[in-house]
Amino acid sequence: MVRVITVDGPSGAGKGTISRILAKKLGFHYLDSGALYRILGIAAQRHQVDTSNNKGLVTLAEHMDIRFDSSETGGLKALLEGEDITQEMRTEDTGALASLVASHPLVRSALLKRQRMFATEPGLIADGRDMGTVVFPDAVLKIYLTASIEERANRRYKELLAKGEDVSLRGLIEQVRTRDDRDMSRDASPLVPAEDAVELDTSEQTIQEVTDTVLNLVVFKGLFNSSVK
């Protein structure tokens, strides 16, 4: 059985950063499940499929021409129909689209098989919102990261300012709150910690502190020896 470690949580909790670090240290594959929903949102816009069009979204989800490659900087590059959409995929507008398309149960079902195909040797770090509850319920370790709405919005605010974007912190706080409400209250795979997940609040912790805590859990579970640290 392929070893899978899931890292779930709301936007801005640090799950993407921690997951990538963890995958590199363990030599595991990495699945950014949110990227699939973001790409689907972009595809829906380009093919003029409304986010309320369940059937149209499912068709897109089943037939999307997508590929993930390593970028020159070592990051993840996303291609839709051969076009690099990595930058577009990370905008706030695309994030909002992803949350909308992800609310459809049939869309989530259509992407489920694709996500599970990432679980190959030597192992997988799966980052998302329902990795431990739905996609990989038998994962050997489940982590749920969270942080206050204000802290998560502030992290995003600093990130966007660094990119030269003119943004409102107050507006970002409302966006984060709205997305949380939608993700946590949807009927299909709502954002909740798995019953056997280890919950970590990252509000007042550095990336290194969170990474060390997670690696301690990996070692404690016997998944790797202390050399991974």
Mean pLDDT on 80-95 = 90
Residue 52 has pLDDT above 60, yes or no: yes
In a domain, 219, yes or no: no
In a domain, 58, yes or no: yes
Positive or negative, the CA dihedral 69, 108, 144, 87 is positive
Cα–Cα distance between 141 and 137 in angstroms, integer?
A: 10
What per-residue confidence (pLDDT) applies to 41? 95
Residue 208 has pLDDT above 90, yes or no: yes
In a domain, 222, yes or no: no
Across the chain, which distance is largest between two alpha carbons, in Å? 51
Q: Which two tokens stand for residue 147?
A: 């942080």
Residue 19 has pLDDT above 90, yes or no: yes
Q: What digits encode the pLDDT tens for the residues 146-160?
A: 999 999 999 999 988
What per-residue confidence (pLDDT) applies to 45? 94
Rounded mean pLDDT of the chain? 90
What per-residue confidence (pLDDT) applies to 163? 83
Q: Which CATH number covers residue 120? A: 3.40.50.300
Mean pLDDT on 75-79 = 81
Residues 6+ apart with CB under 8 A from 72: none
Say how many domains are in the chain.
Answer: 1
Q: What is the DSSP letter of 7?
A: E
Cα–Cα distance between 63 and 43 in angstroms, integer?
A: 11
Query: Which residues span the domain enclosing 82?
Result: 4-214
What per-residue confidence (pLDDT) applies to 155? 94
Cβ–Cβ under 8 Å, residues 185 and 132: no
In a domain, 209, yes or no: yes
In a domain, 135, yes or no: yes
Mean pLDDT on 178-183 = 90
In a domain, 65, yes or no: yes
Cα–Cα distance between 138 and 216 in angstroms, integer?
A: 20
Q: Which two tokens stand for residue 81?
A: 């129909």
Cα–Cα distance between 229 and 211 in angstroms, integer?
A: 9
